[in-house]
Each structure stands twice: as structure tokens, then as C-alpha cells.
Amino acid sequence: MGIHLKTLLTLSAAAILVSCAVGPNFKTPLAPDVKRYTETDLPAKTAAAETPEGAAQTFVDDADIPEHWWTLFGSDPLNTLMNQALKSNPDLKAATASLTQAQENFYAARGGLLPSVDAGFDPTRQKFNPAAFGEQGAPSSIFTLYNASVSVSYGLDIFGGTRRAIEAAHAQASTQRYELEAAYLSLTANVVTAAIQDASLREQIKETQNIVDIESKQLEVLKKQFALGGIPKAIVLSQEAALAQTQTALPPLEKQLAQTRNQIAVLAGQFPGNAPAETFALTSLHLPESLPLALPSKLTQRRPDIKAAEAQLHVASAEIGVATAAMFPQLTLSASYGSETTSFSQLFTSGAEVWSIGGGILQPLFHGGTLLHEKRAAQAAYDKAQAQYESTVLLAFKNVADTLRALQYDAEGLKAQANADSAAKNSLDLAQAQFAAGAISYPQLLDAQRTYAQARIGLVQASALRLVDTAALFQALGGGWSVEKMAQKLSDAKTEKTTVASAAPETQPSAKSEKKP
């Protein structure tokens, strides 16, 4: 048996050495030959405004994005909320589990390159009838047959079908890794945006309430003047309509704030009734003045959605090889060794030895065109993945270009709004001085106060928009995460999970590791 087994292994090794993997060998798509993101050059820096959130922002080419880029906003409540979201968000947990599933499928697929070895024990109670062999009249006998054996089966991957399947499984695992990175990036960007929205709505509600208070005071004054016969009823009615119109703006703002708080709770993995205690103010959010800008030639290596589309293209390429290999001969080698006897006590004696060794070859001849059309379908799937990859790249560049223009023009919008706010403030100062001198009436002073409050609302909205644009740029450029860092986090999480059974897997930075650059 040793000689036969040695011959089997020698033939297997020789077959592997001369084998090849049919189908295309995947090549990473070249980075697009693009020199800039926008149709025209960007200014060296954005416009600046005379406000705390109005600093000019400068684009730094080919600079690294910090891993914890949200800390650039300098908000402790934001950092606390982010840590909670990274630990508890269910979407991130689902993406982590999907990656683990894909990795295990890859490990399972690799087993196809190794022989399968099985052990069996088969006791059988039988009745033997000699008449089946022409021995008429001979008595039948009843006996038990014991069979114990070890069998080896090895499908030679001569044309690479198994290797292509392993390649596809590995590429699918890469896809899930990039999907996890994309989920991480999306979560961090959504948390930052929700925090900015929370701060903006609180400021808008405050300024709108100021306008309501001003118009209410003005209405009281007009009512007194009307009672004294100084003004007609129409002026009072007009002021009542203006007050009612302003009051209609409050419920939508309150609704948006409540919905934003609910969103923050869900992002943090909590029910809306248990929303995190952190609240936000625009004055506590710092506008990053230096913005890293990845070179266009490097964007395809930074965006997780592009890398995921590339991995899916790799899957489709490998599937062509799998379908092609199915059209070629399939060679299988097998061997078994064991014992067979009617007495259990003699099962492992030398006289009970049985063995077999053999091989088989299967060449598909006619399957009604199934194999051919499956290969063509795999080629069409590759063409589809290629088109989807190209679309993902185009949309990524559009995303960056849109964000860069938003940063440019929203900075100019903030500057204009700051000028309007300054003009309204100067007008209010003058009105207050004139009222103190008796040069204008109290309603005129209230008009100046209302104009200033309305300008403040516009300034709040413009300031929040710049913060949102900045977060959008970090997201558009792929954030500061990398596959290597993600893999290390996952490895650390698995180690922690096996060491402390009660601890939940943690694939993101903890609160203790949060540092400001």
C-alpha cells in the first residue's frame, strides 16, 4: 500500500506543477489620467469673513487625512458621541460580521486544494442466500460484516477551476472589507453632520424666538397707540399677521431638532428615548483651516467605494475562470485502506486488510449548451462590473468636485451674510442711539432689532453650511481610514473577544485612544 500511495502523491504533485489556471488574470485598473477635480483651478484659499467661523480655508495638496479627522473640529461632546457610535452602531456591527463571514468562506474555499480524508466504520447485519450463486438447496446464513476504512479523495485542479474559485472568494472578502471601511466612513460623517445640524437648529430656534419676542413687543405698542387713536386698525392687524407668520417658523425648526436628536440616538446605537446627553453649539465647533486634498491620481486608492467596486470586478474576472474550467476534463484520484471481517475482534488483524487505489477523468461532452452559456454569462457579468467600476470612479470625482465648489462658494456666501449681519448690527446701534435721543419711535427701534435677528439666522445657517461642507470633503476623499488599520482593529477585536468572553467585539477606536492632533 505504501508504494501505491507514494505513486498517487507523485502523480498529484506532477499534475499540479504542469497545471494552469484558465481564464483572465486580473489586473488592477489604472488610475484615471486626471490632473484636477474641477473644470477651472480652485483659488489658493477660500474667502474669509469677520466671524468666529469665517476663517479662510487652505487646500494642501497630497496631505494625509488624520485617522480621527473629526477631532479637527475641536469639540469634546462630538468626540464623546463619536466614540459611542463607533462602539454601538448596529450597521457597523453588521458590516463587521459580513467581513468575518466572507473571510471564513475564503478559508473554506482554500480547502479545495487539499485532499479530503474521511474515516468510516460500517457494521452491517446480512443474510446470505447461496441460491443466488447457483447452489440450490444449500442453507442460508446470517452474519455481521464489519468494515473500517480511511479514504482519500483528491480532485486535481489541472485547469485552475478551484484556484479561480478561491481567488473569487478572496476578492469577495476584500469587497466586504472595503464595505466595512465605507460603513465606518459613512457613520463618522453622519455623526459629524448630525452634530452640526443639532447646533444650527438650536441657534435658529433661539434667533427666531428673539424675533417673536420683538414682534410681540411691537404689537403691544401698536395696540396702545390704536387705543389712543394714534394709528388706524389696519396697522395693528398687519403687525398681528407678521407675528403669526414668524411664529409659524418655530414648529418646523423644533420638529427638525427633534428628528436630528432621534438620528443622533440611532447613530449611537440607542433608542430615541435614550438619546445621548451631548448637545452642540456652533461656537464650540472649530472650522479646520487647513484642508488636505488627495491628488486625483490617488483618489481611486483612497475611496472605499471605488476599492469595493474594484474588488467586485476581481470577483467577476475570477468567475470567468471558474466557468471556463468547468468545460475542461476533471481528474480525480482516490484511495482507501481498511479492514473488513465478520468478527469485530479480527477487524484490525493483517488478514482483514483491504485497500483500493484509482483515478477517474470526466470530460463534459454535451450539457445542452449550459456550460458555454454560463461562461458567456460570466463574461457579461465582468463587463457589467467594469461599467459599474467606471461609474463609481466618475461619481467619486464628481463628489469631490461638488464639495470643493461648495467650500468655495459657501465661504463667499458666509462672507456676504457676515456683511449683512454687520450692516444690520450697525443699523441697530444707530437706531438705539436715535431712540435714546428721541429721534425715532419705539416701533422703529423694534424694526431694527427684528432685521438684525433675521440677519443672525442667515449667519447661523451659512456658518453651519461651511462646517458641513468640510465634513463632506473628508468623506469625499475617503477619510483617514485604511485597509491595513481596519485589519489591525479587527485582529485586536478578535483577540479581546477570545480573552474576555463577556466583552463585545470592538473594531473602532475607544474613548481612551481619542486624541486631538
* CATH number, domain containing residue 454: 1.20.1600.10
Q: What is the pLDDT of residue 18?
A: 47
Q: What is the pLDDT of residue 326?
A: 93
> Pick the residue with more confidence: 114 or 13?
114
Compute the average pLDDT of residues 255-277: 95
Whether the Cβ atoms of residue 57 and residue 411 lie closer than 8 Å to each other: yes
Amino acid letter, 299: L
Give the single-character DSSP code of 45.
Answer: B
Q: What is the per-residue pLDDT across 439-457, written as a single tens digit (0 to 9) for each?
A: 988 888 888 988 999 999 9
Has residue 438 been placed in a domain? yes
Among 10-24, 123-137, 264-278, 350-364, top mean pLDDT goes to 264-278
What beta strand segments (E) does 377-516 contain? none
* 68 confidence band (pLDDT: 50, 70, 90): very high
Joined grid coordinates for residue 324: 471556463
Q: What is the pLDDT of residue 17?
A: 44
The SS3 call for residue 356 is strand
Joined grid coordinates for residue 77: 461632546
Q: What is the pLDDT of residue 187?
A: 96
Predicted confidence (pLDDT) at residue 1 exceeds the cutoff of 50: no
- Give ∠ CA 325-328-332 in degrees, rounded to 5: 95
Q: What is the pLDDT of residue 516?
A: 34
Q: Could you give the percent of the chain with pLDDT greater than 70?
A: 87
pTM of the model: 0.83
Has residue 515 been placed in a domain? no
- Give ∠ CA 164-167-173 in degrees, rounded to 5: 145
The dihedral formed by the CA atoms of 66, 67, 68 and 72, expressed in degrees to the nearest 10: 10
In angstroms and rounded to an integer, the radius of gyration of the C-alpha atoms of the chain is 37
d(CA 446, CA 443): 5
Q: What is the pLDDT of residue 124?
A: 87
Give the single-character DSSP code of 51.
Answer: S
Exposure on the CB side of residue 250, measured as CA atoms within 13 A: 13
Query: In whole angstroms, how far apart are CA 323 and each of 33, 290, 381?
Result: 34, 51, 12
* 513 confidence band (pLDDT: 50, 70, 90): very low
Nearby residues of 455 by Cβ (< 8 Å), 6 or more positions away: 417, 420, 421, 423, 424, 425
Q: What count of other Cβ atoms lies within 10 Å of the Cβ of residue 423?
A: 13
Residue in 203, 227, 226, 223 with CA at minimum distance from that of residue 215: 223
The dihedral formed by the CA atoms of 303, 307, 312 and 313, expressed in degrees to the nearest 10: 110
Compute the average pLDDT of residues 334-363: 84
Q: What is the per-residue pLDDT across 402-421, written as a single tens digit (0 to 9) for each?
A: 999 999 999 999 999 999 99
Q: Could you give the percent of the chain with pLDDT greater than 90?
A: 65
Predicted confidence (pLDDT) at residue 13 exceeds the cutoff of 60: no
- Give ∠ CA 189-192-194 in degrees, rounded to 5: 105
Predicted confidence (pLDDT) at residue 37 exceeds the cutoff of 90: yes
Has residue 310 been placed in a domain? yes
Q: What is the pLDDT of residue 178?
A: 95
Q: What is the pLDDT of residue 135?
A: 63
- Give ∠ CA 429-453-217 in degrees, rounded to 5: 85
Predicted confidence (pLDDT) at residue 294 exceeds the cutoff of 70: yes
In whole numbers, what is the pLDDT of the chain averaged over residues? 87
Give the single-character DSSP code of 152.
Answer: E
Size of the chain, expressed as the number of residues it contains:
517
* 134 confidence band (pLDDT: 50, 70, 90): low
Q: What count of other Cβ atoms lies within 10 Å of the Cβ of residue 454?
A: 18
- Identify the residue whose cell numbers are 476534463: 329
Q: What is the per-residue pLDDT across 457-500, written as a single tens digit (0 to 9) for each?
A: 999 999 999 999 999 999 999 998 654 555 555 555 555 544 43
Query: In whole angstroms, how far apart are CA 156 and each of 15, 159, 347?
Result: 7, 9, 33
* Phi, psi (rounded to 5 degrees) for 37: -85, -35
Has residue 516 been placed in a domain? no
Q: What is the pLDDT of residue 38?
A: 93
d(CA 267, CA 179): 18
Q: What is the pLDDT of residue 424?
A: 94
* Tally of structural domains, the chain: 1
Q: H or E element: which one contains 53? A: none
Residue 227 belongs to domain spanning: 2-504
CA 343 to chain CA centroid, nearest Å = 63
Please provide the DSSP assignment of 386-415 as one string: HHHHHHHHHHHHHHHHHHHHHHHHHHHHHH
Q: What is the per-residue pLDDT across 297-325, written as a single tens digit (0 to 9) for each?
A: 999 999 999 999 999 999 999 999 999 99
Compute the average pLDDT of residues 147-172: 93
Q: What is the pLDDT of residue 491?
A: 55
Amino acid letter, 61: D
* 20 confidence band (pLDDT: 50, 70, 90): confident
Compute the average pLDDT of residues 44-64: 89
Whether the Cβ atoms of residue 287 and residue 466 lie closer than 8 Å to each other: yes
* 328 confidence band (pLDDT: 50, 70, 90): very high
Q: What is the pLDDT of residue 515?
A: 36
Predicted confidence (pLDDT) at residue 139 exceeds the cutoff of 90: no
Q: What is the pLDDT of residue 110?
A: 94
User: 34-43, 144-153, 213-222, 337-346: which has the minimum mean pLDDT?
Assistant: 337-346
Predicted confidence (pLDDT) at residue 132 exceeds the cutoff of 80: no
Joined grid coordinates for residue 63: 496631505
Q: What is the per-residue pLDDT across 78-90, written as a single tens digit (0 to 9) for each?
A: 999 999 999 999 9
